[in-house]
Amino acid sequence: MFIDRAKITLVAGKGGDGAISFRHEKYVEFGGPNGGNGGRGGSIYFKASNSSNSLVNYRHAKTIKAESGEKGMAKKMYGRGAKDIILEVPVGTMVLDSNENPLADLSKEGMTYLAAKGGRGGRGNACFVSSTHRTPKVAENGLPGEEKELILELKLLADVGLVGLPSVGKSSLLNIISNAHPLVAEYHFTTLEPNLGVVRIDSEKSMVVADLPGLIEGASRGKGLGLTFLRHIERCRAIIHIVDISNLEEDPIENFETINKELASYRLDLTKRPMVIALNKCDLLENRDAVERFKKAYKDKYEIFEISTVTKENVSKLMQRVYTIVQNTPFFPLYKEKQTDEMVLKVENTKDSDIFDIKVDNKGRYIIIGDRVIRTYRLINISEYEGFMKLLKYLDKIGVERKLRELGAKDGSTVILDDFEFEYFE
């Protein structure tokens, strides 16, 4: 089964908690803290591989979770880090965020992308010893791993794409020029999934050609199979536009313009690719009027070949010319890189308002929000009194108490920070 798009949720592993422990040894009165650090949570990677040519393994929406790191132990022993997960995807897979923004283009065998990073392990109390505090009873919790919803989109790695209306002979052409054997029949949309074939010009020259499903008017807006498969032509360096010149019931020029309009309407201007026109089924012509009219309209803009997939007339000549075009055409970028000036960030002093905010819900509870304050809270182990006091001092330092007073908090008001709920008292 050919699947070229999938949604997947990744949850990296949580870091292990740091340990609170003290050395207990006979005849050693002051053993001191010896709690070890927690292990790193498992990360999740994507790796491009030629072992598969479909995203069939990810066709159902599912969640993949990495293991958490082990907790730190006594005697300053570190917790074991969790194993990373490596997910193999076909070469040519693009990784997008939930808003369709590109994150990675895995276009070469062996390329990897860190999709979800595991949380770091928390520090044990042995790390908090100082000259003024010799017996700390505080440790850090491990941070949670990243959680992301991503989209995988496969774009075939073909040098040449065959386009045209249904039943113009794309599959038949691929059949005779390569080792591929797509289904061929006299009805629309025979090709329900793209087919790849390797075309060998001689013993040392070859290229990959993709036979894409027939397009219809409105394909770039999602009609028919067009939108699903237009993405597979994005990597192509050349396009062979096949036109059925023998169909007396339809205007070949109008059909040609219909497909070009769809290519131009797609999110990448596919008409900027070098295009060669193949007038197919010339063996069925009773006269050359249609051929001459077509050539007169486009001879100054495109190279035009008269071919027949039945008699194989001019097919070899067509392939040799397209191979030359491919060799002299660079790869087209699938998305524009951000300019350097867009990546420059101004370094400014962090304000309290950048660290946290407080919202009042419909039950009158004061909810502290903000990535930085929640991250710090999750680091602090509040199971011990000293850890709890450390959290309160931090909240006071960044101005939470002042903000609560400004919002009208009274003694006994409920305050919520992430999963921690407590009462406010001045």
pLDDT tens-digit profile of 194-226? 677 888 888 888 888 888 765 544 433 444 344
**168 C-beta neighbours (distance < 10 Å), count:** 27
Beta bridge partner(s), residue 275:
239
Beta bridge partner(s), residue 163:
241
Tell me the pLDDT tens digit for each residue of 120-135.
999 999 998 888 888 8
pLDDT band at 168 (very low <50, low <70, confident <90, very high): confident
Residues of the chain within CATH 3.30.300.350 domain(s) are 352-424
Give me the mean pLDDT over the 355-374 stretch. 90
CATH superfamily of domain region 1-154: GTP1/OBG domain (2.70.210.12)
Whole-angstrom distance, CA of residue 309 vs CA of residue 306: 10
Tell me the pLDDT tens digit for each residue of 299-320.
899 999 999 999 999 999 999 9
pLDDT band at 350 (very low <50, low <70, confident <90, very high): very low
pLDDT band at 272 (very low <50, low <70, confident <90, very high): confident
Instruction: Report the pLDDT value the prediction gives residue 186, as an integer from 0 to 100.
Output: 45
* Statement: residue 367 has pLDDT above 90: yes
> CATH for 160-327, among 3.40.50.300, 3.40.462.40, 3.40.50.720, 3.40.50.1110?
3.40.50.300
More confident residue, 188 or 208: 208
pLDDT band at 28 (very low <50, low <70, confident <90, very high): low
Residue carrying the six token digits 């999938």:
6
Please tell me the least confidently modeled range out of 250-254, 323-327, 330-334.
Answer: 330-334
Whole-angstrom distance, CA of residue 405 vs CA of residue 424: 10
Tell me the pLDDT tens digit for each residue of 276-298.
999 999 999 888 999 999 999 99
Whole-angstrom distance, CA of residue 234 vs CA of residue 123: 48
Query: How many residues are present in the chain?
Result: 426
* Statement: residue 182 has pLDDT above 80: no
Instruction: Report the pLDDT value the prediction gives residue 215, as an integer from 0 to 100.
Output: 55
Residues of the chain within CATH 3.40.50.300 domain(s) are 160-327
**130 C-beta neighbours (distance < 10 Å), count:** 7
397 secondary structure, DSSP code: H
Residues of the chain within CATH 2.70.210.12 domain(s) are 1-154
**73 C-beta neighbours (distance < 10 Å), count:** 19
CATH 3.30.300.350 at 352-424, yes or no? yes
Whole-angstrom distance, CA of residue 266 vs CA of residue 290: 29
Please tell me the least confidently modeled range out of 169-173, 233-237, 371-375.
Answer: 233-237
The H or E element that residue 304 is part of is: strand 303-306
Mean per-residue pLDDT over the chain, rounded: 83
- CA R_g for the chain: 32
| DSSP string computed for 103-145 | EEEE-STT-EEEEEPPPPPPPPGGGG--SS-SS----BPPPPP
Tell me the pLDDT tens digit for each residue of 390-412.
888 899 899 988 899 888 888 88
